[in-house]
């Protein structure tokens, strides 16, 4: 490729709409251009890097006997209604109608389409196992798109779906896919960690996320080193603790607390630690009120709560609803003498409390020294997020540590939920009809590219891992007016092209300084400089982007170095 011919608009200044480094550099180095919020054009270099990642993905997946296909982006609502996700998926599913007033959505993922495809064609166990995948543009109308390619609304994703005659075979393939994913991200030269995850809207049982460790990551990873557990913060589960024996010698005290409604203020005023306070939150679970108790220093994990309640829609009750139900404004709600028609559900941690501070269900009053026995708690469950630095529930001596990560891959065991809803079944060896067992496996291609930059850059620009760099090397001609230099560079370039190397030659009629700056910004791993060294000694200079180490060599040596990379 000739730079003089390349559409690569680089910028000196940081675009004002970008504040994470990958987003800034992708724009500055001419890889992407924003069209609308969360919607980007991949410019030639951006596309080139994506293709390199895709190629790695294709090569590794084919080792797992996965076959590539391409499903439509536009999906009729009927399939989504069958799977019940037309209602469950929410606003992220972009819906619209055609001229016949038929409803459609833009596919955010393709379980429905692929399961339907299989339902229509699967007959016998002899056709299994089977794995199909595609690398296509998905659309999710994100609540808040941000960070460029890291959380766009339109994005390129590889999604694979596997089909099996038994759970055992699904388990076997899931493990295989985990290995394939590890190989893919290793080949992309990323530092990542595999963590236990929640399966979210996709549904299913086991799932694991592949997290690229980076400080700008949107996900929190919780680790207990001693027990070798690494988990998405959302999916960290606590075992049921032993019930503590309440302090029977203490007396309930009522306190007048006008204007004091926050845990922080209360614990200060009444000399009660935040972890001795209990807060009560009213949720609407499919429009049924539920009261949830959690310790003052804890946060409710709504994913867990939703699962526990088996709710389709879950939200906090509005102030108005609370007033209707309890007859009280927020701030003084408490579980003692709470309206009996609303079930009280408490987080496991409440079990370990010997006394507590709660709202009095009376304006401007709180109680202290309440014990669990005085409350009519109907259920205990694991409902909260872990807290950074708290003791591990698995190993006493160990604490929980937190890291940030970018979720670049996610694998799930779906089981037969989609198969049942979309009637994908087959005849087994005993001629019995069985629903097919499914797994699904995603990789965010654009997100992987962004994650690579988050992990590898400096003040000068991107430092691409060799495996996914847009070019192996760039040949820089320091002066286009010097014919000797041009000839030498062109000859080298010609040899590279003949050897099918992916090389850029910077033949622009501009000063050498600009060429160096652009090469650094774009992040090409190796710069080959044809300049004064050549005029003096007929040698080329080569410089590694990552280390800035400069060396000299003749054409033979350059070819050797290039073969290595």
What gap in Å lies between CA 543 and CA 550, rounded to an integer? Answer: 4
71: contact with RNA by CB under 7 A: no
| N-to-C CA span, the chain | 18
Neighbours of 177 (CB within 10 A): 25
516: contact with RNA by CB under 7 A: yes
Nearest approach, Cβ of residue 373 and RNA (Å)? 22
165: contact with RNA by CB under 7 A: no
178: contact with RNA by CB under 7 A: no
H/E element holding 182? helix 167-187
What gap in Å lies between CA 443 and CA 408, rounded to an integer? Answer: 6
DSSP state at residue 358: E
Contact 240, 346 (CB under 8 A): no
37: contact with RNA by CB under 7 A: yes
Quote helix, strand, coil % in the chain, to nearest 5.
35, 30, 35
Nearest approach, Cβ of residue 400 and RNA (Å)? 16
Site string for RNA, 466-495 (x = CB under 7 A): ------------xx-xx-------------
The residue among 226 and 514 lying less far from RNA, judged by its C-beta, is 514
Chain length of the chain: 565
Given candidates 487, 511, 538, 565, which one binds RNA under the rule CB under 7 A? 511
Number of residues that bind RNA (CB under 7 A): 72
* Token digits of residue 174: 């899931």
529: contact with RNA by CB under 7 A: yes
Nearest approach, Cβ of residue 211 and RNA (Å)? 20
273: contact with RNA by CB under 7 A: no
Site string for RNA, 288-317 (x = CB under 7 A): ------x-x-xxxxx------------xxx
What gap in Å lies between CA 245 and CA 348, rounded to an integer? Answer: 14
Q: For the segment 413-472, give every residue that binds RNA (CB under 7 A).
A: 460
Q: For the segment 38-57, give every residue that binds RNA (CB under 7 A).
A: 38
Given candidates 4, 124, 205, 262, which one binds RNA under the rule CB under 7 A? 262
The residue among 130 and 316 lying less far from RNA, judged by its C-beta, is 316
Task: Give the position of tokens 């899931």.
Answer: 174
Count of CA atoms in the C-beta half-sphere (13 A) of 369: 9
Taking CB under 7 A as the binding criterion, the range among 72-80, 324-332, 336-344, 394-402 that sits at the site for RNA is: 324-332
The residue among 191 and 323 lying less far from RNA, judged by its C-beta, is 323
210: contact with RNA by CB under 7 A: no
Nearest approach, Cβ of residue 57 and RNA (Å)? 27
15: contact with RNA by CB under 7 A: yes
DSSP state at residue 6: -
Closest CA to 473 of 552, 564, 537: 564
Given candidates 319, 388, 458, 554, which one binds RNA under the rule CB under 7 A? 319
What gap in Å lies between CA 380 and CA 353, rounded to an integer? Answer: 13
* Token digits of residue 226: 């001693």
Neighbours of 495 (CB within 10 A): 15
Task: Say if residue 400 is exposed, middle or buried (CB neighbours under 10 Å; 0-12, 13-18, 19+).
Answer: buried
Taking CB under 7 A as the binding criterion, the range among 50-58, 75-83, 345-353, 514-522 that sits at the site for RNA is: 514-522
Given candidates 58, 81, 95, 146, which one binds RNA under the rule CB under 7 A? 146
Nearest approach, Cβ of residue 17 and RNA (Å)? 4
Nearest approach, Cβ of residue 29 and RNA (Å)? 9
Taking CB under 7 A as the binding criterion, the range among 219-227, 415-423, 424-432, 531-539 that sits at the site for RNA is: 531-539
The residue among 369 and 527 lying less far from RNA, judged by its C-beta, is 527
Given candidates 17, 84, 240, 390, which one binds RNA under the rule CB under 7 A? 17
Taking CB under 7 A as the binding criterion, the range among 52-60, 98-106, 169-177, 509-517 that sits at the site for RNA is: 509-517
Nearest approach, Cβ of residue 404 and RNA (Å)? 13
Closest CA to 344 of 306, 374, 375, 308: 375
Starting at the earlier edge strand, list the strands of the sheet with 288-295.
314-316, 278-285, 288-295, 344-347, 379-381
Starting at the earlier edge strand, list the strands of the sheet with 356-359.
253-256, 365-370, 356-359
Given candidates 355, 395, 423, 517, which one binds RNA under the rule CB under 7 A? 517
Q: For the segment 329-388, give every residue that binds RNA (CB under 7 A).
A: 330-333, 359, 385
Task: Give the position of tokens 């609370």.
Answer: 322
Task: Give the position of tokens 């700056």.
Answer: 517
What gap in Å lies between CA 257 and CA 269, rounded to an integer? Answer: 9
Task: Give the position of tokens 């080792």.
Answer: 63
13: contact with RNA by CB under 7 A: yes
């Amino acid at each position: 490729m000739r730079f003089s011919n390349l559409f690569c608009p680089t910028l000196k200044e940081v675009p004002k709409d970008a504040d994470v480094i990958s987003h800034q550099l992708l724009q500055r180095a001419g890889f992407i251009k924003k069209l609308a919020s969360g919607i980007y054009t991949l410019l030639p270099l951006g596309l080139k890097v994506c293709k390199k990642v895709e190629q790695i993905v294709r090569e590794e997946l084919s080792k797992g006997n996965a076959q590539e296909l391409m499903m439509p982006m536009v999906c009729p609502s009927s399939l989504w209604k069958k799977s019940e996700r037309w209602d469950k998926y929410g606003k992220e599913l972009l819906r619209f109608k055609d001229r016949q007033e038929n409803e459609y959505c833009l596919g955010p993922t393709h379980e429905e389409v692929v399961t339907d495809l299989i339902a229509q064609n699967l007959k016998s166990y002899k056709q299994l196992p089977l794995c199909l995948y595609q690398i296509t543009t998905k659309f999710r109308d994100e609540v808040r798109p941000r960070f460029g390619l890291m959380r766009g609304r339109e994005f390129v994703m590889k999604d694979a779906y596997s089909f099996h005659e038994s759970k055992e075979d699904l388990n076997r393939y899931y493990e295989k896919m985990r290995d394939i994913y590890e190989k893919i991200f290793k080949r992309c030269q990323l530092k990542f960690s595999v963590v236990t995850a929640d399966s979210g809207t996709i549904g299913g049982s086991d799932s694991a996320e592949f997290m690229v460790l980076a400080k700008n990551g949107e996900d929190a990873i919780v680790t207990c080193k001693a027990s070798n557990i690494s988990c998405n913060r959302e999916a960290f589960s606590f075992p049921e603790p032993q019930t503590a024996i309440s302090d029977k010698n203490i007396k309930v005290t009522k306190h007048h607390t006008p204007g004091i409604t926050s845990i922080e203020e209360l614990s200060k005023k009444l000399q009660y630690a935040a972890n001795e306070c209990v807060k009560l939150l009213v949720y609407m679970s499919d429009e049924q009120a539920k009261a949830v108790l959690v310790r003052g220093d804890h946060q409710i994990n709504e994913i867990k709560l939703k699962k526990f309640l088996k709710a389709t829609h879950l939200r906090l009750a509005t102030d108005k609803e609370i007033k209707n139900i309890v007859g009280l404004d927020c701030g003084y709600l408490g579980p003692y003498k709470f309206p009996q028609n609303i079930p009280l559900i408490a987080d496991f941690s409440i079990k370990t409390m010997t006394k507590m501070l709660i709202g009095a269900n009376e304006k401007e009053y709180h109680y202290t020294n309440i014990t669990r026995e005085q409350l009519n708690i109907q259920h205990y469950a694991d409902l909260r997020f872990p807290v950074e630095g708290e003791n591990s529930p698995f190993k006493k001596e160990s604490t929980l540590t937190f890291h940030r990560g970018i979720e670049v891959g996610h694998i799930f065991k779906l089981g037969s939920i989609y198969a049942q809803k979309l009637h994908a079944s087959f005849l087994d060896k005993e001629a019995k009809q069985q629903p097919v067992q499914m797994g699904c496996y995603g990789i965010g291609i654009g997100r992987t590219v962004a994650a690579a930059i988050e992990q590898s850059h400096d003040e000068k620009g991107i430092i691409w891992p060799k495996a996914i760099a847009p070019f192996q090397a760039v040949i820089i001609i320091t002066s286009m007016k010097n014919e000797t230099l041009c000839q030498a560079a062109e000859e080298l370039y010609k040899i590279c092209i003949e050897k099918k190397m992916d090389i850029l030659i910077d033949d622009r009629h501009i000063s050498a300084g600009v060429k160096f700056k652009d090469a650094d910004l774009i992040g090409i791993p190796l710069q080959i400089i044809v300049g004064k060294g050549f005029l003096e000694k007929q040698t080329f200079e080569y410089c590694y982007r990552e280390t800035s180490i400069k060396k000299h060599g003749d054409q033979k040596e350059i070819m050797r170095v290039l073969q290595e990379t």
